[in-house]
Amino acid sequence: MQITAKTITGGFRDERGRLVMTDDQGLQHEDVLPARMFPITDPEGWMSICDRQGRELFCIRNMDAVPENLRPILREELNRTMFTPVITGINTSLPFGDLVRLFITTDRGDTDITVDTEEIYRLSGNRILLKDVSGIRYLIPDWHSLSSNSRRILDIYL
């Protein structure tokens, strides 16, 4: 069985605002969903474009592989679907078992999240990624820039 790689030759939003992409064989793929493969560590790198059933239609190394006129639409769609609030402070925590409830300040306001302590990751460059129990990712771009109280709370779970 030979697998032929498709490339994107064009794309647009249809009258309902859905993303439509055309491949090098002239086929239009309607209502496609782009996703970054490495949204935190390489946001402009590897992307997957899938249909609504989750089947991958295109695998893109970077934005340079997409026609220039489609890049703004694709970036807009990627940013719309990739919700990653930035944590600017950790006010307090309430541990219970393997979970911890964190009362945080983000770039979108104050909130509280519940996190499995196994879902707190150190990334390169002093970054920390937390994934709450509902699957939302939160980013701390530089944990050294947090207040001493926030760092003290975070240190407990790292």
pLDDT, tens only, 99-111? 999 999 999 899 9
In a domain, 2, yes or no: no
pLDDT of residue 5: 60
Indicate whether 63 and 112 sit together in one domain. Answer: no
Indicate whether 127 and 96 sit together in one domain. Answer: yes
| Rounded alpha-carbon distances, angstroms, from residue 124 to 94, 96, 104 | 27, 28, 22
Helices (H), 15-144: 71-81
Across 84-90, average pLDDT: 92
Length of the chain: 158
In a domain, 125, yes or no: yes
In a domain, 1, yes or no: no
pLDDT of residue 112: 95
In a domain, 133, yes or no: yes
Paired sense of beta strands 99-106 and 47-50, if any: unpaired
In a domain, 108, yes or no: yes
Alpha-carbon distance of 102 to 51, in angstroms, equals 36
Q: How confident is the model at residue 53 (pLDDT cuts 50, 70, 90)?
A: confident
Residue 144, pLDDT > 90, answer yes
Indicate whether 45 and 99 sit together in one domain. Answer: no
Indicate whether 74 and 15 sit together in one domain. Answer: yes
Residue 135, pLDDT > 90, answer no
Q: What is the mean pLDDT of the chain?
A: 87
Q: Where would I find the beta strands (DSSP E) of the chain? A: 8-13, 19-23, 28-29, 33-36, 47-50, 56-60, 87-96, 99-106, 109-122, 128-132, 137-140
Indicate whether 51 and 98 sit together in one domain. Answer: no
Domain ranges, residue 73: 8-81
Indicate whether 62 and 94 sit together in one domain. Answer: no
In a domain, 122, yes or no: yes
What tokens does 102 get? Answer: 């964190």
In total, how many domains does the chain have? Answer: 2
In a domain, 3, yes or no: no
Residue type (1 letter), 23: D
What tokens does 58 get? Answer: 């295109």
